[in-house]
């Protein structure tokens, strides 16, 4: 009997739509995280100093339809090959509006083993 690997799961969804694995990311230490208005403000530390670094906030899994709804988030860090070893500390801000789960209300943000309440109108 011959078995072949499928490109879809049992629900007919492409495997890419179900892949919540974390993208390649350079090491990053999250020192603090808080929600201010519609922004996730994060103080981070990383090694570098010789190249520009880029950061992106993305969903680390599907939105959980609960009361209140929950959204796991994480930061991807692109070091652009920076091999320097200076300790850089930086404060980053990311827009949370794309992660609202209702027109107004509350979404629980699950970030870096921290639960943050995102209230909006």
Contacts of 12 (CB under 8 A, 6+ apart): none
Band of pLDDT at residue 3, cut at 50, 70 and 90: very low
How far apart, in Å, do the first and last CA atoms of the chain sit? 58
Residue 114 tokens, joined: 């921290």
Q: Which residues pair with 108 in a beta bridge?
A: 70, 117
The residue among 109, 51, 55, 103 whose CA lies nearest residue 80 is 51
Q: Given the structure tokens 């906030």, which residue do they identify? A: 57
**pLDDT tens profile 6-60:** 444 445 545 554 555 556 678 999 999 999 999 999 999 999 999 999 999 999 9
Domains, the chain: 26-120 (2.60.40.2370)
**pLDDT tens profile 58-89:** 999 998 988 899 999 999 999 999 999 999 99
């Amino acid at each position: 009997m011959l078995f072949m690997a499928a490109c879809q799961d049992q629900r007919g969804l492409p495997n890419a739509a179900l892949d919540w694995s974390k993208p390649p990311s350079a090491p990053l230490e999250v020192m603090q995280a808080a929600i201010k208005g519609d922004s996730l403000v994060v103080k981070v530390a990383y090694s570098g100093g010789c190249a520009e670094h880029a950061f992106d906030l993305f969903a680390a899994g599907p939105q959980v339809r609960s009361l209140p709804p929950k959204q796991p988030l994480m930061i991807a860090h692109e070091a652009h090959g920076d091999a320097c070893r200076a300790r850089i500390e930086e404060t980053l801000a990311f827009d949370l509006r794309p992660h609202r789960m209702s027109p107004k209300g509350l979404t629980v943000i699950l970030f870096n083993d921290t639960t943050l309440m995102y209230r909006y109108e």
